[in-house]
Amino acid sequence: MASALRDSDLRDRAWTAAASVADPEIPVLSIADLGVLRDIRVENGTVEAVITPTYSGCPAMNMIALEIELALEKAGFAKHKVTTVLSPAWTTDWMTEQGKAKLRQYGIAPPVAKAGRRALFGEDKVACPHCGSNDTQRISEFGSTACKALWRCKACSEPFDYFKCI
Amino acid sequence: MATMTDAPLFQYTLRLADTALILGHRLSEWVGHSPVIEEDLAFGNMGLDLIGQARALYAYAGEVEGKGRDEDALAYLRDAGDYRNLLLVEQPNGDFANTMVRQFLYAAFAHPYFEALAASKDETLAAIAAKAAKEMAYHVRHAAEWTIRLGDGTDESHARAQDALEELWPYTGEIFEVDPIERALIDIGVAVDPAPLRALWNKTMDDVLGEATLVRPRDGYMQSGGRAGRHSEHLGHILSELQFLQRAYPGATW
């Protein structure tokens, strides 16, 4: 019983430490905001952080794993490891509301619709993160990272990144 | 412990991995050469998706094989005759129209294929496929839009897109082939039977090519052999570049 309590306490501390890791490509978001941090397990004193990639080829995953290990080390956990799981596949639906608000403030339009109902030429309605107008236009399906598309606002003329919905 | 399905499962996973890697490599060849910066980014992103899919598939193939080969060993240390990719994806990039039409032909198949594979009884393949399906949805949309823009564009872009279609069409038959290795896996719910997906692929072709004012080529003689390791001369050239570092400096890491 006492040990179970200790484990849950350790888990909370480890979660706080791991959750503080920022996405290296979108530093306003933590991996908890993104939904990349799936779980923290504590067993026999070893902390296991479970993460999931946003895209198959996301080059940030190695960096994120390394930063989690560093964060856990700094928080005083001697034994830790990071495990990557693929199932269920990450979806933008897991991004927290707080995460979406942070993205908008940062100038990136957060994902809009629920994922998975994409028609071949289905158009998203994306609000401009600068002026809020819905009079926007997609410039390119692929942006500066795999998870973003390039858009522009026809009201305020500013270009912006849109975090794609998957 | 080897089971009955290990060898076919290894082969099947390897085929999917090789197709993803070779197409990913082909797209990466465009980076820095694209007509506009948005397309440079798009090729980089699509290539990254495919290489990411390949990595997950190779890692799993190595695990299934159980001989200690990891993703790098499978990607870098096999010769052309051991590669099992579709012939379509090793075809040269040609011009922009050629690359986009090739991407369209493949993605229009891969998107529904991975959606179906996401229901595989093999949990790892299902997990990799669920993610890949979402990525391929963007590829087919992007490539279809370009196919329409080029086909329904200037006389020059129309002619080039039509030429690309004629040139690549003979490689589309292989996409739907099923050999005994795959048949055995289809029967136990691990692999996807491509036959029922053909109608959807045909519809995508007809819709997009129609809008692009391109003429769908007739199904004539179809090239085949990638899954048996019989490749066009292009694959060796791809591998000479892709594998150079590991061949010249075995075990090099960074």
B115 lies within 8 A of chain A by CB = no
CB nearest to B48's CB, from A121, A146, A166:
A146
Which residue range(s) make up the domain with A149? 95-163
- What burial class does residue B220 get, using C-beta atoms within 10 Å of its C-beta: 0-12 exposed, 13-18 middle, 19+ buried? exposed
What domains does chain B contain, in order, with CATH numbers?
6-248 (1.20.1260.10)
Contact check, Cβ <8 Å, B48/A59: yes
Contact check, Cβ <8 Å, B53/A150: no
Summarised one tens digit per residue, pLDDT across range B203-225 is: 999 999 999 999 999 999 999 99
Rounded CA separation B133/B86 (Å): 18
pLDDT score of A17 more than 60:
yes
Query: Best of B50, B134, B141 to disrupt the A interface by mutation (most A CBs within 10 Å)?
Result: B134
Residue A115 and residue A64 share a domain: no
Summarised one tens digit per residue, pLDDT across range B46-74 is: 999 999 999 999 999 999 999 999 999 99
A55 lies within 8 A of chain B by CB = yes
Q: How many domains does chain A have?
A: 2
Residue A157 and residue A100 share a domain: yes
pLDDT band, very low/low/confident/very high, at A114 (cuts 50, 70, 90): low
**What pLDDT sits at residue B49?**
95
pLDDT score of A119 more than 50:
no
pTM of the model as a whole: 0.90
Rounded CA separation B20/B16 (Å): 6
**What pLDDT sits at residue B5?**
47
Residue A24 and residue A75 share a domain: yes
Residue A127 and residue A104 share a domain: yes
pLDDT score of A117 more than 60:
no
Q: Which residues contact B229 (CB under 8 A, 6 or more apart)?
A: B80, B81, B82, B83, B84
